[in-house]
Structure 1
Amino acid sequence: MTGVAVEVRHASLRSDEATILDDVTTDVGYGRLLALVGPNGAGKSSLLSLLTGDRAPTSGAVHLDGRPAGEWSARELSRRRSVLLQSNQVAFSFAAGQVVAMGRTPWIGTERARLDDARIAEAVERADVAHLLHRAYPSLSGGEKARVSLARVLAQDTPVVLLDEPTAALDLRHQEEVLRVARRLARDGRAVVVVLHDLSLAAAYADEVAMIDGGRLVARGNPRDVLTADRVEAVYGTPVRVLDDPDTGRPVILPRRHAER
């Protein structure tokens, strides 16, 4: 697919007296991977909730495929976009394999249900969870739950994929693998949005980076233009050094440290 998948226009989000998002305009296109970055409490997850259509802005507009997000039914949304939330909780003691299979729920009774086994198998391989399928989901570690939940999202097989901090509980190898999966999804033509805390991961894999601070979009563009040392220091309040990765040429962002005496 081509064109804009999800667009946010002059969207604000308020709760009681607090302004969570303030006049944000951005979009994500098919075939693109957009990383949302910013300090804790900046509004990244809140912006993602607008992109999912699960939350309506207080003012402004959100469109999915050119149609107001509020006009999509829950079933329609589940077939158009898949979402990985920060919290990977399941109410009952399902096996991990059953949790992955839940990703196929939107396609029950449709022609695409015949693809269930193939899509589940692909998702299990991509998320590296084959050895976990018979384990009770509550018994898994935080990182294992995150990967099983990612497999569920992949099994859903939607054109738009929205991932909220998918690497937070993962070891180094699986952080890289998850971002490689996200990169491949975008290369295959899907629109992918990933909320990340690791700026170097964002720089390494994203087509574009959107930086949020205090509920406002302070910069958006290619990683090199957005993740400058001056901007990162201003937004995060700590000095950094931006280097070039010798293998990829992409920026690597490191905190500047002084040796303790």
Structure 2
Amino acid sequence: MSERQAALVASGAGYRAGRATILDDIDLEVRGGEVLALVGPNGAGKSTLLGLLAGDVAPTSGDVALDGRPLPLWHPRELARRRAVLLQANQVAFSFTAQQVVEMGRAPWIGTERADDDPRAIDDAIAATDVAHLAGRMFPTLSGGEKARVSLARVLAQETQIVLLDEPTAALDLRHQEQVLRIARRLAAEGRAVVVVLHDLSLAAAYTDEIAVLAGGRLVARAAPAEVLTAERIEEVYGTPVRVIPDPGTGAPIVLPRREL
């Protein structure tokens, strides 16, 4: 276990929707200075868990606390200054430009001393996500990948100590997938806590400090990528045969399906 301080702690957290149990008895720490990946098959509860950690979804059992204080006790604006969230659906209610969407990330700091940082924070976020050429475009006209990058820029502009990303690479090409995870690593190097939901196990292994595996709404493993991503565990959780080989350059696990053609 890392000695880094826990920023978010889920204790026995669960979530039921009617008779369906989506998450059950989750104990999870999110620590500053680390990138933690949430992985698992479709329906495992990854996005719901991210929602619990964000305070956007209330657990039906157990609790989630930020700095020892349950999330429901935080004022929404106060919470927005501590954590930023990127959802799967990159939509806005009205037709804003990409620049305006990024600027929305600074809303929690209106009326504070940190509002003076707005121009610098917005420029840094736009540069980091490679969206300067999109700034004047109307958000609805962007491609799925462009929307994802602009939405990530909004999250970065918010400049919080906790960053929660739900499938940030899903709509991106190979170059921008790598870029997003490099950004996550940079945030962690600055001492921030980063949680990212990913489907690409090899990408998770390459860039994260630890991987938490969810299956059937339960946390079945959490450890360093090489410890978690064994062929036996992956085959059990995902129900498909795989090969796991070390990356020749880094030694990180690469997960490949075993195909019979």
Q: Does 1:14 align with 2:47?
A: no
Separation of aligned partners in 2, 1:53 and 1:96: 26
* Cα RMSD after superposing both structures: 0.7
Q: Does 1:96 align with 2:119?
A: no
Q: 1:178 aligned to 166, 170, 180, which one?
A: 180
**Where in structure 2 are the equivalents of 1:4-153 lying within 5 Å?**
4-153=6-155
Residue 12 of structure 1, CA deviation: 1.1
Residue 213 of structure 1, CA deviation: 0.4
Q: Deviations over 1:139-180 (max 9, x none)?
A: 000000000000000000000000000000000000000000
Separation of aligned partners in 1, 2:210 and 2:8: 15
Secondary structure of 2:169's counterpart equals coil
Partner of 1:243: 245
Partner of 2:194: 192
Residue 3 of structure 1, CA deviation: 1.1
Secondary structure of 1:51's counterpart equals helix
Residue 65 of structure 1, CA deviation: 1.3
Gaps of 5+ in 1: none
Separation of aligned partners in 2, 1:109 and 1:23: 40
State the AA in 2 paired with 1:150.
Answer: L
Q: Does 1:160 align with 2:153?
A: no
Secondary structure of 2:195's counterpart equals strand
Residue 59 of structure 1, CA deviation: 0.9
State the TM-score, normalized to the length of structure 2. 0.98
Partner of 1:206: 208
Secondary structure of 2:125's counterpart equals helix
Secondary structure of 2:81's counterpart equals helix
Separation of aligned partners in 2, 1:66 and 1:118: 32
Residue 91 of structure 1, CA deviation: 1.1
Separation of aligned partners in 1, 2:215 and 2:254: 21
State the AA in 1 paired with 2:61.
Answer: S
Residue 125 of structure 1, CA deviation: 0.7
State the TM-score, normalized to the length of structure 1. 0.98
Segment of structure 1 superposing worse, 141-150 or 24-33: 24-33
State the AA in 1 paired with 2:153.
Answer: A
Secondary structure of 2:27's counterpart equals strand
State the AA in 2 paired with 1:102.
Answer: M
Identity %: 68
Q: 2:233 aligned to 231, 234, 241, which one?
A: 231
Separation of aligned partners in 2, 1:191 and 1:240: 31
Q: Deviations over 1:165-206 (max 9, x none)?
A: 000000000000000000110111000000000000110001
Residue 54 of structure 1, CA deviation: 1.2
Secondary structure of 1:28's counterpart equals strand
Partner of 2:257: 255
Separation of aligned partners in 1, 2:60 and 2:23: 9
Secondary structure of 1:22's counterpart equals strand
